[in-house]
Structure 1
C-alpha cells in the first residue's frame, strides 16, 4: 500500500512492516535519528503503551500509531510490477536517511521485536519518505515541521470520555445550557452554560471527602488524573444529573464571588485563608447548606444555598483561620494546610461539627502543635514538581544492600533505571519490564528478584530512587517542606 507524491519534490508514502523497522534500528542504532530534534526517550508511559500494543494487538497498530517520517539525500525505487506498480510492493533504496519524526515508535518497535518478535512481526506502520536532494536547510525544515505541534495536556484526553459527551447532551436537552469540553472552544457566557474546568472544580468541592478540594488547591492539573484513585475517575465515575451540574457550578461561582468580595479579611491570617482556602470554603458551603439535596427538584437551591453564601463565607474564613492557628501553632503554614489532604479533612470535620452544634468561634489559644506532614508520593504528585518521564535511578542505601544487589543489577542496566509518572499510588515506571510500581513496592520486588535472603521486611523506597539532579524523591519532599515552612513562617 503506497503512492508517490506528485509535484516537484520526490516523496513516497506507504506501509512498512515492524520487522523491517526493527532491523533498521538493530543495524544503525541512534544514527537513524541524526537529524531528529531528539533521540528515543527510553522508558516513558507513552513508549510502554506503544510496545504493549505491538505485542498484544499488532494488527491494529497501523490504525493506532502516527507512523514515521524519514528524509534522505537520494532515493531510487524498484517496483515489483512494471505494468501495475501500485498493485504490488515497491522497494526504496535511500542514502543519507534520517527518521525525523517517530523516534519513539522506532525504539518501541525494536524492543517489542526483541521481547516478543512472533507477535510484533504481525504489525505494520505508515511511513513517509522525502528526498531532500541534499538540501540541508530543507531537511531541517521538515524535521522542525514534523515535530511542531501544540502540547497535548492530560485535560485534552478527558474531552473524549463518554461521560462528558453525555453531560453535554443532557445539559442541553433538559436545561438548554452549553457544556464546553475542549480547550480552544469558545467559552460559554456564564448565564448560558459552563466549561469542563468549571464543572470539575465544582464537583471537587462538592465531593464529601475534602481530599478533592485539597488536590485542587495544590494544582488544578490533579483534576484530570485518572486511575482508581485519580480525581477525574472519582468525580465523574457516575454522570451527574443536569440539575447537579448547574447547581454545583452556580455555587462555585457564588463562593468565589463572596471570597473575592471579602478581600483581605480582618487580619493577615484571615487574608491568607481567603487567598489559599477558597476551595475548602466552597466545600464547607456545599456540605453545610445542601449537598445532600442538590438533586432534589423540590429543594429551593437559590434561597437555601446561593442567597446564604455571602453572609456565611466571612464566618467560614474566621472559623478556618481559628482552627488552623489553634491546632498548628501561632505561625501556621496556612497555604500548605489547604493543600494537604489530612489537614483539610480535619479542618472540615471540626468546622462542620461546630456549625452543626451552633458553636461560636472561640478566642485563639497560645498552644502550638506541629502539623503532620503529608506522605512523600502524594505530596510530589499534588505539587507537580516532577515532570512525567523524568528519569530515576535506584541507589542502594547501605553496604549490605549494595553487596546483595550489584551483581544482579549489572546483568541488565535497565534494572536500576525507571521514570517518574504523576500517579499517586504507582509513580515509578520500571525500565526493565515497563510496569508501574510504588517506590517501596518496586524496591521490595527487586530485592526478591535478586534473591537477597537477608533483605529487610520493609523499606523506604522514596529514599532509594534518585533524580538526575542528585536528589532522591524523599530529599525533594523534604526540600518542599522546608521551603513552605520558610514561606509561611514569614506570614
Structure 2
C-alpha cells in the first residue's frame, strides 16, 4: 500500500527545513542526489524526534557518507545522570515502502560494534566532530545506546528481520541493558513534521476507580487508573500526550528503567511505589460507565489533555506492558486531572512549572542521612583534615581536599573482594545505594583512612589510564576507556592492604610507595586484560560489555590476578600504539609509504582526509579543523619521502612530520606519532591499511627494511 499524501507532505517539509542545513558537498552532483538528501533529512528528523536538538544540531548530527557503516546520524544527550547515545539508520522511499533487510541489520550492528570499541576511524570524517562526546558518553557510568531505524514506510519489519535484530542486540546486553532499538515509521515522521506547525489536540477517554472530586476554585478529579489504560493512551498518542510537559518522556532513562522493572516484577505494589501522574485538560466531560460520585467508578472524556507530570511514568508503563502484557497490565497508579475550563489565563503553565520543579528525592539522599555517613564525615575531618561531602547540592571538594560520598561508594565498590561490585557500578552506579550493595560497602563502618586510600587508588588508576590513552587505539584504547573500575579491583586485590586502616608516618610512607607503582602496574594489567578478554571471548567481543557483565568481569579478574602478581611483561602492543607502526618485529618494518609507492596503490592527485586517533585528539582537534577545513585535507604525490601536499600551505610533508606539526599547533603536543595512522583515503582506509595490502601485493616480508 502506498502513502502518496503523507510522503508528499513529508518530502516538502524535509526540503523546506533541512535543505539549507544538511551538508551535501560530498555528493558532488552524483546520481540520485535528491534521494540522498531526503535520506539524510529523514535521519535529521529522527534525531529531532528522539532528542531535544534544534534543526541545526539535528542536521549537524548527520554523518551519512560512503563509509558510514550503517549509521546515518549520531547524537549524544545527557538525561539525568545518564548519557544517552542515539544512532540513526534512515531509509527514504518515494512510495512509502522503505525496506530494512537482514543485510541492513548486519551493517548497522557492525557500525554499532565499531562505535562501542571507539574505532571512529572506521567511519567517514563527519563523525569526528562528535567523537569527543561519543567517547565520553560511552565511557560514562551506565550509558544507554538506542538504534533508531527511521523508515519511510507504513509497514512493520519482517518478522525474520526483527528477530535477527533483537538477537544481535541481545548479544550486546547479556545481563545489561546497554543497547535497545526503536522503529520510527512514516506515521511517526509525519506526526513530527505536523507538530512543528500545530500541536495536535489529544482527547482521552479515562476510567477512574475510587473517584475523588475538587470543585472550588477549579474542577479536578483524582483516583486510580489501570496501567493497561495508561499504556493504551501512549500507544495511540505517543509524545503528543506530553506536549505541555517541560521534560518530555524521552523513552529511555535510568528512572524509566526502574519504573518499568517495578511494574514488570511487582505490579501489585506499583500503586504504592509510583508517584502517579497529573493531567491538565481544556474541559472534562462525563463519558462511559459510572457516575462521578465520591469513592465510585466513573468514565470521563478529557478534551485537550496533556500529561504535565509523570511523562516518564507513562512512557515506562507503555514499555512494560509491551514487554510483559499479561503481568504489567494488571498494575494501578494514581491520577490527578485538573480542568482549565474556568481557570485564569496562563494558570495551566503555572501548574506545569510547579509540578516539574520539585527536587526529586533519590536513594542516595536517604543514605546521606545514615549515621555511618556522619561518622565518616567526622572521621575525615578529625583524622585526615579533609572534607567528606555527603549531601547533594554542596560543592564538591577539590581533589586534594577530600571526596564526595558518591566517589567513596565507587571506590569501595571497585576495591571490594568481589568483581561483581565493580561490574554493577560500571553498569549503573545508582545500584550502590541499594541495600544489597550499600551494606557490604558501608555497613561495617569503614575508617576514613580506608575510604581515602581506596579513593586515591581509583583516582590513580584513572589518571594512569588517561595517560595511556594518549598513545592507544583499537582494543587497548577501548580497554583503557572502559576498564577503570575492574582494573582498580584487580590492583587492590593484588597489593598488600593489611595496613589500610593504619595511621601514622610509616603507613603513609608505605602506601605512598604502593601508589607510586600504580602507573606501571596499570600499564601491564591493561595489556594483559585485552589478552584475557580476547582469549575468553574473541577479538570481536565488546570490552565495554565485558566490564559491565558480572560473569565476564569475574572471569577476566581471575585471569588477571596471577599475571599482575607475577610482574611478567605482556605481549607487544604495537598494534595499538600511535607512535609505532603495527606489525613490526624488533623495530624493523617496510616503510608504509615506500610500500604504497612501489605498489602504485594511490594515484597522484588523490585527496586524503586527516582523522584524529586518540582520545585527546578527538577532544581538541575537530574544533581546530572546523575553523579551517583545509587543515584536514592533503593531496597525494607518489614520493617516498614527502608524499602529502597539505591543502593549507601547498607544501610537501612526510605523514608523521605533518601530523606532529598539526598536533603542535592545535594541542601544544610534540610527541612522536606514526602519521600513516592519521591520513585516510576515503573508502579505502588509512595509509597503514593501504600499505598492508601493498605489502601483500608485493609479497614483501615485514622486516625487509628499517622504518
Looking at both structures, which has the greater relative contact order when contacts are Cα pairs under 8 Å and sequence separation is at least 6?
1
Instruction: Return the TM-score normalized by structure 1.
Output: 0.47
Instruction: Return the TM-score normalized by structure 2.
Output: 0.35
